[in-house]
Amino acid sequence: MTMPFIENLGQKDPQVAYYAQTLGGTLFVTRDGGMVYALPSQVLSEKAVARAAGQPVTGQARSGTGVSIFHGDLSLPEVPAYDEISVGEISPGVVLRLKAYGGRVEKFFHVAPQADPASIRMRVDGAESLSVTPDGSLAATKAGAGGVRFS
């Protein structure tokens, strides 16, 4: 099940551009292209190392799901929601797009023909250790909080 990314029109911190509520927690995508995973047991952040400043994070595929926000004094009856968002160019010729599915977020790295996929560098903060599992997933672990796998 695809979960839409909801555009932040004032209902969240101003640094947040979009967010998606998944079965595993909430992913906040910041205006500077960072991703903050608010999970039940921990908070992790991820960012492309070489992403140029000033690029907007944009909605790419408008969702068929309607979203309304009613909370205290804030009433936003028609909030734009997207099935896919673009974080922008994260290294020369490489664009990162995100989709949220139920309990996970999927990253799509669109690599132009002349671009070098080896230039993709992501930084993960909030974990005490990172390791690659036998199936190729990235495991981020923190004592007392368990682990998170990035496939």
- pLDDT tens digits, one per residue of 20-43: 998 888 999 999 999 999 988 889
* Residues 104 and 22 sit within 8 Å (Cβ to Cβ): yes
Give residue 88's pLDDT.
Answer: 96
Q: Find tokens 């990235």 and name the residue.
A: 138
Give the pLDDT mean for 131-144.
86
- Rounded to two decimals, the pTM is 0.90
The radius of gyration computed from the CA coordinates of the chain, to the nearest angstrom, equals: 16
**Cα(41)–Cα(119) distance, rounded to whole angstroms?**
32
* Residues 124 and 42 sit within 8 Å (Cβ to Cβ): no
pLDDT in tens, 109-136: 999 999 999 999 999 998 888 999 999 8
Categorize the per-residue pLDDT at 16 as very low, low, confident or very high, splitting at 50, 70 and 90: very high
Would you say residue 150 has pLDDT above 90?
no
Give residue 74's pLDDT.
Answer: 65
CA distances from residue 72 to 9, 48, 75, 104, 133 in whole angstroms, order as listed: 15, 35, 8, 30, 45
**Cα(20)–Cα(116) distance, rounded to whole angstroms?**
30
**Cα(29)–Cα(47) distance, rounded to whole angstroms?**
10
Give me the half-sphere count of Cα atoms (radius 13 Å) on the Cβ side of residue 112: 9
Q: What mean pLDDT value characterizes the chain?
A: 89
Give residue 36's pLDDT.
Answer: 95
Residue type, 63: S
Would you say residue 90 has pLDDT above 70?
yes
**Other CB atoms within 10 Å distance of the CB of residue 95:** 17
Give residue 19's pLDDT.
Answer: 95
